[in-house]
Structure 1
Amino acid sequence: MFNLQVAKNEREEDEERRKRDNEARMGRASHSCRVIQAVTQICKPSRSRNLDRSKQQRGTELLDDYFVRDSAFPDTYFRRRFRMERYLFNETMIAVCNHDSYFVQKNDAFGSMGLLPQQKITTALWMFAYGVSVNQVDEIMRMRKSTILESLMRFCRGIESIVPRETYKHGLAKSYEEG
C-alpha cells in the first residue's frame, strides 16, 4: 500500500512538473511569436487603405475620348497618343482578350464592374510607347500599381503567344533592309 501511494504521488508530481514545463515553454513560444510579429510589422510597410480611384468614370472618359463613334479626339490624336491606328488597337485588343480572359471586363468581389479591356491594354501600350513609370500611368488611368504591372506582364505574354516569332524576324529583317 505504501508503495502504491508513493508511486501515485510521484506520478502526480511528474504531471505537475510537466504542466509547469509546458506552461513555461508556451510562455517562451508566445513571447517569441510576439517578438516576431512585432519585427514583421516594423519591417514591412502596412497595407494602405483602399482609395476611391473612380475607375469606372475614368474608363468612360477614355471611351468617350478615343473609342466611341463621335469621340472627343479625332483619329490623328489617337494615332499620336497610341502610336498606332485605331483599327490596329481594336484588332490587338480582340486578339488579346480572346487569348487571356484577364482583359475581359468582369464584376469584382463587391459586384461592381471591373476595368475595361481598353484601360488595361492602354496602360501596357503607354508604358511601351512612352517609357513612362507605373506612377505616371496610375495618375492618368486611376489603376493600382499591381494591376498596371499585371496588365503589362499579361499583355506581353499574350502578344508573344499570339504573334509567331517568324513574323518578328521577317518584320525586323524587312525594316533593316528598308532603313
Structure 2
Amino acid sequence: MITVCNHDSYFVQKKDDFGAMGLLHEQKITAALRMLVYGASADQVDEITRMGKSTILESMMRFCAVIESIYTVEYLWRPTDMDLQRLLKKGEMRGFPRMIRSIDCMH
C-alpha cells in the first residue's frame, strides 16, 4: 500500500476545502481490489467502502495505472523463447503439458 501511496498522491488522505479529512487510502485501494478480485461493480462496493461510485471508479482507474506503472518493467514483459521453454518444462514436470497454450484462448 505504501508503494501505491508514494506513487500517486491521490491515495494519500487529505483535508477537503472545509477542513474535513478525506477518504483513507485503505478505502480507495480496497474498493479497487474488490472490483478486481471479485468482479464487483461500483454499486456492489459503495456500501462496503462508504464511497461514491465516481470515487470508486476513479480509485480503480488510478490503482490499475499505478500497478502498471510500477510493475511493467519487471513483470509485464513479453517472454523470450528461453522463458517459454523454461515454463513449458516446469509445466510438464508438474503435469500440465502445453500449459502456455492453455493461457491464451485455451487452444
Q: When the two structures are superposed, what TM-score results if normalisation uses the length of structure 2? A: 0.71
Alignment of 1:108-127 (within 5 A): 108-127=16-35
1:125/1:175 Cα in 2 relative to 1: closer, same or farther (>3 Å)? farther
Partner in structure 2 of residue 168 of structure 1: 76
Report how many residues are paired.
86
What amino acid sits opposite 1:152 in the alignment? M
Task: Measure the CA separation in 2 of the matches of 1:164 and 1:99.
Answer: 14
Task: Measure the CA separation in 1 of the matches of 2:87 and 2:27.
Answer: 30
1:100 aligns with 2:8: yes
Task: Measure the CA separation in 2 of the matches of 1:162 and 1:108.
Answer: 28
Task: Measure the CA separation in 2 of the matches of 1:145 and 1:129.
Answer: 18
Q: CA deviation at 1:164?
A: 2.5
Partner in structure 2 of residue 143 of structure 1: 51
SS of equivalent to 2:76: helix
Which of the residues 39, 54, 63 maps onto 1:155? 63
Task: Measure the CA separation in 2 of the matches of 1:111 and 1:153.
Answer: 26
Q: CA offsets per residue over residues 13-62 of structure 1, 9 Å max, x none?
A: xxxxxxxxxxxxxxxxxxxxxxxxxxxxxxxxxxxxxxxxxxxxxxxxxx
Q: CA deviation at 1:117?
A: 0.6
Structure 1's unaligned 5+ residue stretches are: 1-92
Alignment of 1:76-87 (within 5 A): none
Q: When the two structures are superposed, what TM-score results if normalisation uses the length of structure 1? A: 0.44
**Runs (4+) of structure 1 moved beyond 6 Å?**
none
| Structure richer in helix, relative to its length | 1
User: Which entry has the higher C-alpha Rg, 1 or 2?
Assistant: 1
Task: Measure the CA separation in 1 of the matches of 2:35 and 2:45.
Answer: 8
Q: CA deviation at 1:166?
A: 4.4
CA-atom RMSD in angstroms: 2.2
Work out the percentage of aligned pairs sharing the same amino acid: 62
Q: CA deviation at 1:175?
A: 6.8
Q: CA offsets per residue over residues 91-119 of structure 1, 9 Å max, x none?
A: xx111111100000000122111111111
Partner in structure 2 of residue 57 of structure 1: none
